[in-house]
Amino acid sequence: MFAWFRTDIIAEYFPLFLQGLWTTLELTAVGILFGTLLGLLLGLGKIAMVERGPWKWPVRFFIKLPSQIYIGFFRGTPLFVQILLIHFALVPLLIHPEDGLLISGDTALYLKREYGAFISGALALSLNSAAYIAEIFRAGIQSIDRGQFEAARSLGLNYFHTMKSIIIPQAFRRMLPPLGNEAITLLKDSSLVSAIGLAELAYAARTAAGAYARYWEPYLFISLIYLVITLCMSYVVHVLERKYKNA
């Protein structure tokens, strides 16, 4: 029945698929890690507010507004466009052998050659997911009754202590399902990075398809791999949810 399915194509390109799988997992892990850290800061930044006193305006202009603009930009433009923009415009501006603003000279050449596409891809995915994760944090924090915050403050805890010990632990439970969702989305979106020549899963499939002009085998094969990983991820989220249910 599956005689038309040419397994020899998969076999021939197997090393590339394997390497692609590894790169995809690395990209996703980096994206989730940095996206979560940056997302937490941005989420807090977006709801930061000082009602009176000398900090009222500085907080609004230098914390709240930049966070809002950042989240607006990264949620409001396509990831594909962000990847191309970062790889072909932003990163060459920062890291360039001749006149990089951040790094130049031989270090820049080495970085571009060895890790150029990975740096750009990981950067784009981190920055993009941070915007979505910021919104998840914001929604999670705002879903906690304001009384909790007021009670903690009246017990003498300061803002950061209140957030750290009272609000975020409660909010985390509610944030778990959307965070799991975001992780799965990130894994799938990492396929877009193949556009800048990074050898991840979709790149491996595109290469095999390009060589044989056959589309079923490579793309069906990577679909299966993506599916297996996303199922594993949703299982982990499910286990975590159960763990924190009674916490």
Partner 1 sequence: MKRWALLLCLFALGCTKKSDSVKSEATMQSKPAALVVGTDAAYAPFEIENADKTISGFDIDIIKAVAEKAKLDIEIVNTPWEGLFTQLESGDRDILISAITINDDRKKVMEFSEPYFEAVQLIAVPNTSKVAKYNDLKKLKVGVQTGTTGDEVASRLLGKTNPNVKRFESTPLALQELLNGGVDAVIADNGVVNNFLKNNAQGFKTISDTSFSKEYYGIAVQKGNLDLLKKINEGLAAIKADGTYDRIYKSYFGEKK
Q: Which residues bind partner 1 (CB under 8 A)?
A: 12-16, 19, 88, 91-92, 96-97, 108-109, 112-113, 116-117, 195-197, 199, 203, 206-207, 209-211, 213
For residue 123, the minimal CB distance to partner 1 (Å) is: 14
> With helix as H, strand as E and coil as C, how does the chain read?
CCCCCCHHHHHHCHHHHHHHHHHHHHHHHHHHHHHHHHHHHHHHHHHCCCCCCCCHHHHHHHHHHHHHHHHHHHHHCCHHHHHHHHHHHHHHHHECCCCCCCECCHHHHHHHHHHHHHHHHHHHHHHHHHHHHHHHHHHHHHCCCHHHHHHHHHCCCCHHHHHHHHHHHHHHHHHHHHHHHHHHHHHHHHHHHHHHCCCCHHHHHHHHHHHHCCCHHHHHHHHHHHHHHHHHHHHHHHHHHHHHHCC
Rounded to whole angstroms, what are the CA distances from 74 to 82, 137, 186?
8, 16, 14
- Least distance CB 229 / partner 1 (angstroms): 21
In whole angstroms, the minimum distance from the beta carbon of 230 to partner 1 comes to: 25
**Inter-residue contact 123 to 33 (CB < 8 Å):** no
CB of 225 to partner 1, least distance (A): 16
| Closer Cβ to partner 1, 16 or 59, answer by number | 16
84 or 157: CB nearest partner 1? 84
Closer to partner 1 by CB, 121 or 140: give it. 121
CB of 23 or CB of 129, closer to partner 1: 23
- CB-based contact 196:183 (threshold 8 Å): no
Minimum distance between the CB of residue 166 and partner 1, rounded to whole angstroms? 48
What's the min distance (Å) between Cβ of 241 and partner 1?
38
Q: Which of 51, 36, 13, 69 is nearest to 206 (CA)?
A: 13
Closest approach, Cβ 93 to partner 1, in A, equals 10
Given the complex with partner 1, which of 42 and 119 has the nearer CB atom?
119
